[in-house]
Each structure stands twice: as C-alpha cells, then as structure tokens.
C-alpha cells in the first residue's frame, strides 16, 4: 500500500505523521508543491509489453501532464533483481541530489521509496503500482529501489537531455529508512 511518512530532518527514527490514504498523501504533498496522483490504465498491459504499449495505456494522463507542465519527452525504465549493475544504481540514487527539472515518475509496476528533503522536513513516499510522483526541480531528494529492485516506471522530462543530477554531498540519506523487501 502506498504510504507517506513525514519526519523532522534530525529525527529519522520517529515519523511525525504516517498516511496511507491516497487523498491524504496527495493533499499533504501538495502543500509542499509535490504532485501525487493515482492512475488507472486505459487498456490492459500484458507481461513483456513494449514501451510504446505501456505509454499508450496511459496516453490521456501523460498528455494532460505534458500540456499542464510542459514536459517534452517520455520514456519507460524497467529494472529488476537480475540487473548486473543493480547495486551501483541503487547507491547512485541513494545519495541526496536534485535536478534542474521536475522528476516525474509513474509506477506501472513494482515499487520504490522516494524521500524529499523540504526545509527541515523529510517526506518519505512509498510509491507502488499506479502511483505518480513529481518531485519539483531543485528539491533535494534520494530514491531507494531496495536490494532486490523491481519496477517499471514511465518518466517525463522537460529537458531533452534526460537524467542529470546535482549531488548535494549531504549524508542525510544514510540516516533514514531503506526500502524493505
Ligand atoms: C523510478 S526511477 C528513479 C530513479 C531516478 O531517476 C532518480 O532521479 C531518483 O532520484
Ligand atoms: Fe532524482
Ligand atoms: Ni532535533
């Protein structure tokens, strides 16, 4: 089940708030400018579906976001526990970083743990199948795919150069919870 846990940045062991209803998660994240939505596919997605088929199943929602927020490219990224570089990839995303553009991810399958560092608070969002999150440009954050990663995600970009990260050098992420398998 999707979940939002809110922490003070100095108290990683004790969340001040834990929410599991999608409406509550969305309204709490909206207060800090973060978009959270749940989407339904407009067509069934068969196992092994191509990127084009995955995108087609969510075309109306993708087109709406592109029109609202000016995203120009869309792709599909897929990762599972057989990936030979899974440990390196996990470590890279686990260091606190920001991007010059919004980080927009829709989970077609699987799960991942996003943690957003906003002021003195950390908003930890467990994203599951059907969840969309948009991390605003410039927001320090990290992402845990877990020791045994499994996700298929649609990514939207407003920069055609794709994924570019600026690492903050802060070790805050090492003090916060990891994605539990
Ligand atoms: C679900 S893809 C997440 C990995 C990524 O692109 C990123 O920037 C994490 O912060
Ligand atoms: Fe990121
Ligand atoms: Ni304190």
What CATH number did the domain enclosing 69 receive? 2.60.120.10
- Please indicate, yes or no, if residue 170 is contained in any of the structural domains: no
Question: How open is the CA angle 55-61-66, to the nearest 5 degrees?
Answer: 90
Answer yes or no: is 117 a known binding residue. Answer: no
Atom of ligand 1 nearest to the CA of 107: 1
- Please indicate, yes or no, if residue 72 is contained in any of the structural domains: yes
Buried residues in 85-108 as b, exposed as e (16+ CB within 10 A)? ebeeebeebbbbbbbebbbbbbbb
Domain region containing 81: 3-162
- Please indicate, yes or no, if residue 180 is contained in any of the structural domains: no
The ipTM, to two decimals, is: 0.91
Answer yes or no: is 150 a known binding residue. Answer: no
- The dihedral over CA atoms of 25, 30, 35, 39, expressed in degrees to the nearest 10, equals 50
What's the confidence (pLDDT) of residue 104?
97
Q: Does the pLDDT at position 163 exceed 90?
A: no
Q: Does the pLDDT at position 169 exceed 80?
A: yes
Who lines ligand 1 at CB under 6 A?
77, 93, 103, 105, 112, 141, 143, 151, 153, 163
For every residue of 17-53, which 3-state class applies, written as one string? EEECCHHHHHHHHHCCCCEEEECCCCCCCCCCCCHHH
Atom of ligand 1 nearest to the CA of 155: 2
Q: Does the pLDDT at position 162 exceed 80?
A: no
CA of residue 4 relative to chain centroid, distance: 12
Q: Does the pLDDT at position 119 exceed 90?
A: yes
Count of domains observed in the chain: 1
Answer yes or no: is 97 a known binding residue. Answer: yes
Q: Does the pLDDT at position 160 exceed 80?
A: no
């Amino acid at each position: 089940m999707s979940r939002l846990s809110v922490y003070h940045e100095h108290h990683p062991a004790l969340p001040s708030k834990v929410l599991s209803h999608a409406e509550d998660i969305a309204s709490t994240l909206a207060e800090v400018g973060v978009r959270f939505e749940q989407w339904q596919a407009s067509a069934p997605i068969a196992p092994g579906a191509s990127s084009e088929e995955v995108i087609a199943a969510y075309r109306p929602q993708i087109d709406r976001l592109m029109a609202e927020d000016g995203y120009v490219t869309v792709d599909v990224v897929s990762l599972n526990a057989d990936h030979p570089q899974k440990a390196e990839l996990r470590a890279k995303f686990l260091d606190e970083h920001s991007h010059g553009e919004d980080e927009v991810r829709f989970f077609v399958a699987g799960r991942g743990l996003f943690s957003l560092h906003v002021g003195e608070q950390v908003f930890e969002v467990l994203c599951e199948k059907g969840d969309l999150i948009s991390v605003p440009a410039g927001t320090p954050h990290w992402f845990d795919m877990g020791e045994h990663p499994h996700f298929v995600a649609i990514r939207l970009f407003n920069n055609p150069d794709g994924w570019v990260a600026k690492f903050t050098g802060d070790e805050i992420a090492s003090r916060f919870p990891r994605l539990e398998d």
